[in-house]
């Protein structure tokens, strides 16, 4: 058991008081930046890179890992309580989580998010410990056509389950796709849909869209509908802990979310968002209480929250085993390694085992620290909502401004915030789901790039899209997702009709 | 749809066909934009205009579908918690809070802008203690400005007017 | 209430006093945190502080996007006449200004110096039949469209390098098959044999070449690179040399005194062990070129890139 002895050696590093201290700092910082919209782990670690000049490598990476995990814990908090996700990985959490909070079950939602994050983080870390080299090989198996198929699957599974109307779901998705085409085309360098504005060359920032549609749209909506009504309408205060039934409904989504999240996170173009979309769609399909989805189903919080944490562990796989950065955060971590003159990869496991296994061991301790940090915080977070509502929403707008203005101090971003905030308001009033906009914006450009890469490599041979077993089966599943539910409904109707006829005849 | 018949008069009148129209216009804008994108000959496979064209087409189709749905009446505003009628004044105040940075951010800087936005939004939510709201907004904005500047995130000058 | 206000007031005054003491540099980084320009800006200023050549510190503004031209436009607009304002620049910005037809250009700033350089390399999957630069040229000549070559963003140094190689091969530049990647994806795609070759920074390929997943067949600099067993294009008889240089420019209308002062500071920094260490850990080549020589170099680069981008078909 070579791995076990090395892991134990790693714990010897991770459990040193100084490293526990850095882990704690990282976790606290990560939770804080996770709560703030627009300030993610990548930016935070990038800003902290100078500490690599002063701190020894093991401590620095233990802190950075804490930030990476902590951001995902923190991201769920504002999603659930205020319907304003702090990170792209928390968008799906807002859907059911905020509904739960509105029903006075905010504490249960926060708890299932925190425990789910812990479970998935631990499962992901276990997989990282024992399966990393094997999983890392996936990076070389997945080609552009496979990524494209994965994204098509995300589109269809989400569009089908989202919202009460297919047309409105697709309208939101296409709005997001349209926003995603703005800016310079990375494949050819042509500018697209910038309307002559230099600020748009780099595209519409995801943070601005996230903050505007959720935080600003929500603020405008609540102001217009409930400002004059007595505050008693707000049932957010207090809340009960998870009930026995909550546990029973949560544990399977936690595990399923972990299983979806880890391998996708490990892919160079996977990321933390796709697993949360797929997990949400899957839980909605599998739930025994599908009618509760959209009204605050706990499975819809447990699954995606687990998925994004497992994906975060997955991100470390190609980084540590191959030296491949797969997300912005991983790229910054790679820069940190290079600051120490280290190059992550198989060699590093041989030359710096203490550092690497210390880092892996710290993921276990970091997860525990985050759980201990976050469970008591649930009570405090929920109490935050006792602040008078006008101050909460005033504060949300100020922090939205921080996120948008701090991005690049661009007037254009402020204008976009205003316009998209209005669109977010209209979407709330006319019951358009918001999440597909963000899915379109995140995945649209990626899907386009992968499609065009696949076609460029194959020299315009479209059959390449079903050319590998992975892409063929993923596309087949995507087609089934789209076709089967209406088909089932049709057959049920036919069966019911048949029965009626039989009854009429008999 | 029978639901429309049961709805109160205010809602029965609202047929948001204009939403579909807006979407279709946006689609037309994208279709038109796709024509302007040079189709580079040096690139095999899909060119840069293809996806813009596809998205534009999708938007137009969805826009038309939305218009039809709206006219048929099976699509209207939801008021899931409709005990209180929508308040236009509150909405406009909150919107002003969101829009005021467009005017002031460059001249008055982040802290003062945050103060104004905060006060406007809190007023939209019915608070009438103007001095207190302004003060809290200013403190909040100032703390954020200093905190984030320390972290290395620039929020512009404290008071750009004074240089 | 009043207490809270006075506290905030004290906080404002206290922090204000601290920041007013020194006279720090204001560095505009025209890219997002974590990238090459970010490293160039932050590590250079760190070396300044470490070597005590310039110890007043620095504040950074990241303004990424559009090949650095958005940061450039912001810099020209806001930093006019500021003797302590610096902008990180490089070859990508030169290309970006031309491609985007930006209303401002580096001519609006006060060019200071070129500082570092990184060279490109051509790599192929480990089992590729392409073994030498000549093989690569031959493959380009046979059917440029069939040779899918990965690289960074379109119109960047990688893309232009492929176009120059195609020209050398006598293949139609319009037919080259350049596939843009970002980050580590290019290594995975190359290692997995999804693309036939890739052009990127030499240091990015090194680790993967050492583990035997890919093979580096050429580097684009004037000399071979330590630790990479591959010839230069020049010694293989292919007259193509392309580098990714980075440097600094000062604010528009920076005073002559300040320009001289900064050039002296950089000259001192260039000699310090701290800077040499930075070059080593970052894998940068020393490409120190100050003052007037840099001005001339910039003009030359602009002319070269205008031609190159036209040939690639990005510039009409």
Report pLDDT digits (tens) over C166-210.
988 988 888 888 888 876 778 888 988 999 999 988 877 877 888
Tell if the CB–CB gap between B142 and C5 is shorter than 8 Å: no
Tell if the CB–CB gap between A411 and B102 is shorter than 8 Å: yes
Q: Which residues of C touch A346 (CB under 8 A)?
A: 211
Q: Residue C247's closest CA among C294, C300, C304?
A: C294
Q: Measure CB to CB from residue B139 to each of C4, C62, C314 and give the nearest one.
A: C4
pLDDT-derived band at A117 (thresholds 50, 70, 90) equals very high
Which whole-number Å values give the CA distances from C237 to C53, C120, C134, C135, C284, in the listed order?
A: 43, 17, 9, 12, 25
| The pLDDT of residue A104 | 80
Burial environment of residue B154 by CB neighbours within 10 A (0 to 12, 13 to 18, 19 or more):
buried
Separation of CA C173 from chain center? 24
Residue B87 in contact with partner chain A when CB distance is under 8 A: yes
Q: Which residues of C touch B138 (CB under 8 A)?
A: 8
pLDDT-derived band at C11 (thresholds 50, 70, 90) equals very low
Tokens representing C303 are: 């002319």
| The pLDDT of residue A76 | 86
Which whole-number Å values give the CA distances from C248 to A11, A444, C29, in the listed order?
A: 45, 36, 10
pLDDT-derived band at C219 (thresholds 50, 70, 90) equals very high
| The pLDDT of residue A301 | 93
pLDDT at B12 over 60: no
User: Length of chain B in residues, anyone?
Assistant: 163
| The pLDDT of residue C8 | 43
d(CA A472, CA B98): 47
What percent of chain A lies above the pLDDT cut of 70?
94
Burial environment of residue A237 by CB neighbours within 10 A (0 to 12, 13 to 18, 19 or more):
middle
Which whole-number Å values give the CA distances from A282 to A251, A388, A487, in the listed order?
A: 14, 37, 18
Q: Which residues of C touch B135 (CB under 8 A)?
A: 1, 4-5
Using DSSP's 3-state secondary structure scheme, residue C145 falls into helix
pLDDT-derived band at C3 (thresholds 50, 70, 90) equals very low
d(CA C23, CA C54): 10
Q: Residues 6 or more apart from A90 whose CB is under 8 A from it?
A: A34, A72, A75, A76, A78, A79, A276, A304, A305, A308
B42: nearest CA partner in chain C: C174
pLDDT-derived band at C12 (thresholds 50, 70, 90) equals very low
d(CA C207, CA C283): 13
Residue C177 in contact with partner chain A when CB distance is under 8 A: yes
Nearest CA distance, C293 vs chain A (angstrom): 31
Mean pLDDT, rounded, of chain C? 82
Our CA dihedral for A117, A123, A129, A133, rounded to 10 degrees, sits at -100
Across A469-483, B43-57, B145-159, least confident range = B145-159
pLDDT at A225 over 60: yes
B17: nearest CA partner in chain A: A430
Tell if the CB–CB gap between C179 and A50 is shorter than 8 Å: no
Q: Measure CB to CB from residue B142 to each of C1, C12, C145 and give the nearest one.
A: C12
In the block, which residue shows the tokens 């004037």? C222
Half-sphere exposure of A256 (CA within 13 A, CB side): 23
DSSP A68: H
Report pLDDT digits (tens) over B108-124.
999 999 999 999 999 99
Tell if the CB–CB gap between B135 and C11 is shorter than 8 Å: no
Residue C104 in contact with partner chain A when CB distance is under 8 A: no
Tokens representing A492 are: 């049920």
List chains adjacent to chain A, taking adjacency as at least 3 C-beta pairs closer than 8 Å: B, C
Residue A224 in contact with partner chain B when CB distance is under 8 A: yes
CATH numbers and ranges of domains, chain C: 22-117+244-312 (3.40.190.150), 118-219 (3.40.190.10)
d(CA A87, CA A76): 8
Kindly state the average pLDDT of the residues A338-346. 74
Report pLDDT digits (tens) over B143-163.
988 887 776 666 777 887 775
| The pLDDT of residue A506 | 54
Report angle CA A480, A447, A163 to the nearest 5 degrees: 55
Where do the H-state alpha helices sit in A267-386?
A: 273-286, 299-322, 328-339, 346-351, 353-384
Nearest CA distance, A127 vs chain B (angstrom): 34
pLDDT-derived band at B47 (thresholds 50, 70, 90) equals confident
Domain range annotation of chain A: 2-49+57-467
Residue A329 CB neighbour total at 10 angstroms? 27
Q: Given the DSSP bridges, would you call strands C243-250 and A191-192 parallel, antiparallel or unpaired?
A: unpaired
Please write down the HEC assignment for all residues of A175-206.
Answer: HHHHHHCCEECCCCCCEECCCCCHHHCCCCCH
pLDDT-derived band at C133 (thresholds 50, 70, 90) equals very high
Q: Residues 6 or more apart from B48 whose CB is under 8 A from it?
A: A185, A187, A188, A190, A192, B37, B39, B40
Report pLDDT digits (tens) over A422-446.
999 999 888 888 888 888 888 888 8
Q: Measure CB to CB from residue B38 to each of C5, C177, C316 and give the nearest one.
A: C316
Our CA dihedral for A398, A403, A405, A411, rounded to 10 degrees, sits at -100
Q: Residues 6 or more apart from A239 whose CB is under 8 A from it?
A: A101, A104, A105, A106, A107, A108, A382
Tokens representing A120 are: 């998935």
In the block, which residue shows the tokens 């093991």? A58
Long-range contacts of B41-45 (CB under 8 A, 24+ apart): B41/C174, B41/C313, B42/C173, B42/C174, B42/C175, B42/C176, B42/C312, B42/C313, B43/A187, B43/A188, B43/A456, B44/A455, B44/A456, B44/A459, B44/A460, B44/C145, B44/C175, B44/C177, B45/A452, B45/A455, B45/A456, B45/A458, B45/A459, B45/A460
B15: nearest CA partner in chain A: A430
pLDDT at A485 over 50: yes
C313: nearest CA partner in chain A: A188
Using DSSP's 3-state secondary structure scheme, residue C41 falls into helix
DSSP A215: I
Domain range annotation of chain B: 2-72, 88-162
Cβ(C283)–Cβ(C120) under 8 Å? no
A315: nearest CA partner in chain C: C184
Residue C73 in contact with partner chain A when CB distance is under 8 A: yes
Question: pTM of the full predicted structure?
Answer: 0.82
d(CA A320, CA B93): 51
| The pLDDT of residue C73 | 81
List chains adjacent to chain B, taking adjacency as at least 3 C-beta pairs closer than 8 Å: A, C
A189: nearest CA partner in chain C: C154
Tokens representing A180 are: 């995603």
A419: nearest CA partner in chain B: B99
Tell if the CB–CB gap between B44 and A456 is shorter than 8 Å: yes
Residues 255-284 of A with CB under 8 A from C: 268-269
| The pLDDT of residue B151 | 65
Q: Which residues of A touch B126 (CB under 8 A)?
A: 227-228, 390
Tell if the CB–CB gap between C65 and A53 is shorter than 8 Å: no
* Residue C4 backbone phi and psi in degrees, to 5: -60, -40
Residue C20 in contact with partner chain B when CB distance is under 8 A: no
Q: What is the CA radius of gyration of chain C?
A: 22
Nearest CA distance, A500 vs chain B (angstrom): 24
Please write down the HEC assignment for all residues of chain B.
Answer: CHHHHHCCHHHHHCCCHHHHHHHHHHHHHHHHHHHHCCCCCCCCCCCHHHHHHHHHHHHHHHHHHHHHHHHHCCCCCCCCCCCCCCCHHHHHHHHHHHHHHHHHHHHHHHHHHHHHHHHHHHHHCCCCCHHHHHHHHHHHHHHHHHHHHHHCCCCCCCCHHHC
pLDDT-derived band at B78 (thresholds 50, 70, 90) equals low
Mutate to test the interface with C, among B39, B42, B47, B111 (most CBs of C within 10 A): B42
Q: Residues 6 or more apart from C263 whose CB is under 8 A from it?
A: C112, C113, C290, C291
Cβ(A324)–Cβ(A36) under 8 Å? no
A53: nearest CA partner in chain C: C46
pLDDT-derived band at B9 (thresholds 50, 70, 90) equals very low
Q: Which residues of B touch A190 (CB under 8 A)?
A: 37-38, 40, 48
Q: What is the CA radius of gyration of chain B?
A: 24
DSSP C284: P
Helix (H) or strand (E) holding C178: strand C177-180
Tell if the CB–CB gap between C176 and B42 is shorter than 8 Å: yes
Q: Measure CB to CB from residue C313 to each of B41, B132, B138 and give the nearest one.
A: B41
């Amino acid at each position: 058991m070579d791995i076990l002895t090395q892991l134990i050696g790693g714990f010897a590093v991770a459990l040193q008081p100084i490293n526990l201290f850095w882990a704690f700092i990282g976790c606290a910082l990560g939770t804080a930046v996770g709560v703030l919209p627009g300030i993610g782990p990548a930016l935070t670690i990038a800003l902290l890179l100078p500490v690599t000049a002063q701190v020894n490598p093991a401590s620095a990476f233990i802190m950075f890992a804490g930030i990476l995990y902590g951001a995902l814990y923190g991201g769920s908090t504002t999603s659930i309580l205020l319907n304003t996700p702090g990170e792209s990985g928390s968008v799906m959490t807002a859907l059911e989580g905020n509904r739960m909070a509105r029903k006075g079950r905010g504490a249960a939602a926060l708890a299932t998010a925190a425990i789910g994050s812990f479970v998935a983080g631990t499962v992901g870390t276990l997989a990282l410990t024992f399966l990393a080299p094997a999983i890392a090989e996936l990076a070389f198996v997945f080609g552009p056509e496979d990524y494209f198929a994965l994204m098509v699957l995300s589109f269809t599974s989400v569009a089908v389950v989202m919202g009460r109307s297919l047309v409105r779901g697709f309208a939101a998705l296409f709005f997001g796709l349209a926003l995603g085409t703005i800016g310079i085309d990375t494949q050819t360098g042509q500018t697209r849909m910038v309307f002559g504005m230099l600020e748009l060359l780099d595209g519409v920032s995801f943070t601005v869209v996230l903050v505007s549609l959720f935080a600003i749209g929500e603020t405008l909506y609540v102001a217009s509908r409930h400002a004059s009504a007595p505050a008693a309408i707000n049932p957010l205060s207090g809340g009960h802990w998870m009930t026995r039934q909550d546990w029973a409904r949560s544990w399977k989504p936690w595990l399923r979310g972990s299983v979806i999240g880890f391998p996708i996170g490990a892919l160079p173009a996977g990321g933390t968002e796709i697993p949360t979309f797929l997990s949400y769609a899957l839980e909605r399909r599998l739930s025994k209480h599908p009618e509760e989805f959209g009204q605050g189903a706990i499975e819809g919080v447990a699954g995606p929250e687990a998925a994004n944490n497992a994906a975060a562990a997955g991100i470390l796989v190609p980084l540590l085993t191959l030296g491949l950065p797969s997300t912005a955060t991983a790229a910054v971590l790679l820069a940190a390694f290079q600051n120490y003159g280290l190059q992550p990869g198989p060699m590093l496991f041989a030359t710096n085992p203490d550092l690497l296994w210390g880092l892996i061991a710290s993921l276990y301790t970091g997860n525990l620290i985050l759980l201990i940090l976050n469970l008591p915080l649930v009570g405090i977070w929920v109490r935050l909502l006792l602040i008078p509502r006008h101050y909460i929403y005033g504060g949300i707008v100020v922090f939205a401004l921080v996120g948008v203005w701090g991005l690049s101090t661009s007037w254009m971003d402020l204008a976009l915030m205003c316009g998209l905030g209005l669109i977010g308001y209209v979407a709330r009033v006319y019951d358009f789901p918001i999440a597909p906009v963000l899915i379109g914006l995140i995945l649209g450009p990626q899907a386009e790039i992968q499609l065009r890469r696949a076609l460029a490599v194959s020299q315009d041979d479209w059959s390449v899209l079903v050319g590998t077993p992975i892409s063929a089966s993923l596309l087949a599943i995507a087609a089934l997702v789209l076709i089967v539910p209406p088909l089932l409904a049709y057959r049920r109707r036919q069966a019911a009709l048949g029965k009626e006829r039989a009854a009429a005849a008999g | 749809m029978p639901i429309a018949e049961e709805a109160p008069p205010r809602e029965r009148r609202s047929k948001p066909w204009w939403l579909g129209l807006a979407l279709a216009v946006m689609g037309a804008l994208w279709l038109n934009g796709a024509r302007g994108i040079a189709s580079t000959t040096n690139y095999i496979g899909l060119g840069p205009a293809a996806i813009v064209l596809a998205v534009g087409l999708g938007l137009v189709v969805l826009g038309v579908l939305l218009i039809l749905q709206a006219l048929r009446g099976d699509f209207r505003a939801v008021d899931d918690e409709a005990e209180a009628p929508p308040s236009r004044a509150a909405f406009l105040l909150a919107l002003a809070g969101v829009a005021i940075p467009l005017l002031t951010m460059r001249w008055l800087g982040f802290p003062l802008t945050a103060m104004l936005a905060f006060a406007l939004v809190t007023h939209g939510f019915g608070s009438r203690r103007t001095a207190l709201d302004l003060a809290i907004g200013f403190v909040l904005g100032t703390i954020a400005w200093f905190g984030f500047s320390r972290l290395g995130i620039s929020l512009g000058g404290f008071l750009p007017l004074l240089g | 209430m009043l207490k809270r206000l006075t506290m905030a007031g004290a906080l404002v005054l206290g922090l204000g006093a601290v920041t007013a003491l020194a006279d720090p540099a204001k560095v505009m980084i025209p890219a997002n945190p974590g990238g090459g320009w970010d490293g160039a800006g932050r590590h250079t200023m760190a070396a300044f502080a470490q070597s005590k050549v310039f110890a007043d510190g620095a504040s950074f503004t990241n303004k990424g996007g559009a090949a650095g031209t958005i940061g450039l436009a912001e810099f020209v607009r806001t930093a006019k006449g500021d003797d302590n304002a610096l902008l990180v620049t490089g070859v990508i910005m030169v290309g970006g200004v031309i491609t985007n037809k930006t209303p401002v250009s580096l001519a609006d700033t006060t060019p200071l110096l070129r500082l570092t350089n990184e060279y490109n390399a051509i790599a192929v999957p480990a089992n590729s039949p392409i073994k030498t630069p000549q093989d690569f040229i031959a493959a380009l000549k046979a059917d440029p469209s069939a040779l899918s070559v990965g690289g960074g963003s379109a119109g960047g140094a990688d893309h232009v390098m492929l176009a120059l190689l195609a020209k050398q091969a006598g293949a139609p530049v319009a037919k080259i098959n350049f596939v843009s990647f970002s980050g580590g994806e290019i290594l995975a795609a190359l290692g997995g044999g999804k693309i036939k070759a890739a052009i990127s920074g030499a240091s990015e390929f090194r680790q993967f070449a050492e583990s035997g997943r890919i093979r580096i067949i050429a580097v684009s600099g004037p000399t071979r690179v330590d630790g990479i067993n591959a010839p230069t294009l020049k010694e293989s008889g292919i007259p193509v040399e392309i580098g990714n240089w980075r440097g600094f420019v000062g604010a528009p209308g920076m005073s002559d005194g300040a320009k001289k002062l900064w050039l002296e500071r950089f000259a001192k920094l260039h000699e310090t062990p701290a800077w040499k260490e930075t070059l080593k850990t970052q894998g940068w080549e020393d490409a120190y070129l100050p003052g007037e020589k840099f001005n001339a170099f910039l003009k030359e680069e602009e002319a070269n890139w205008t031609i190159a981008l036209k040939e690639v078909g990005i510039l009409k």
